[in-house]
């Protein structure tokens, strides 16, 4: 239902969650590129690599993976989204309420990813592939 008005066709919860996961990965890459040259060092590159992984795994799930490897990739995407949501909550709690914008930009995307992927319809869509 989320993308029905955008593309004209209804897609299932699994595909909506994977699309949102790719969007979250793209946000992570842009945020990492925005702080290159700061004192963060290796953390910026780790952030960018995880963003690239979150962009690539949903593409591979649609084209190459099948069987048990597909299910493992699904749970990797869900785990990375959960870790990103935890990281957004910790970042806001450490930096204070002036940093709440970070949660609204990244955390809400992760909530939407987890809702779509972990719903019963999302997991049943995994079984149908």
- Tens digit of pLDDT for each residue in 46-76? 888 888 988 888 888 877 777 788 888 888 8
Q: Where are the alpha helices (DSSP H) in 13-104?
A: 13-34, 42-63, 68-95, 100-102
- Nearby residues of 23 by Cβ (< 8 Å), 6 or more positions away: 109
pLDDT for the residue 38? 67
> What does the alpha-carbon distance between residue 69 and residue 24 come to, in Å, rounded to a whole number?
22
- Tens digit of pLDDT for each residue in 2-46? 566 667 777 888 888 888 888 888 988 888 888 766 666 777 888
pTM: 0.79
């Amino acid at each position: 239902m989320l993308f029905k008005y955008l593309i004209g066709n209804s897609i299932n919860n699994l595909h909506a969650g994977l699309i949102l996961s790719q969007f979250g990965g793209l946000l992570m890459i842009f945020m990492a590129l925005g702080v290159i040259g700061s004192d963060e060092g290796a953390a910026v590159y780790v952030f960018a690599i995880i963003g690239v992984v979150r962009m690539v795994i949903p593409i591979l799930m649609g084209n190459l993976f099948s069987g048990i490897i597909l299910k493992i990739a699904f749970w990797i995407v869900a785990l990375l989204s959960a870790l990103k949501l935890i990281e957004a909550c910790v970042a806001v709690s450490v930096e204070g309420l002036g940093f709440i914008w970070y949660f609204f930009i990244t955390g809400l995307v992760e909530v939407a990813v987890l809702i779509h992927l972990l719903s019963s319809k999302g997991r049943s869509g995994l079984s149908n592939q």
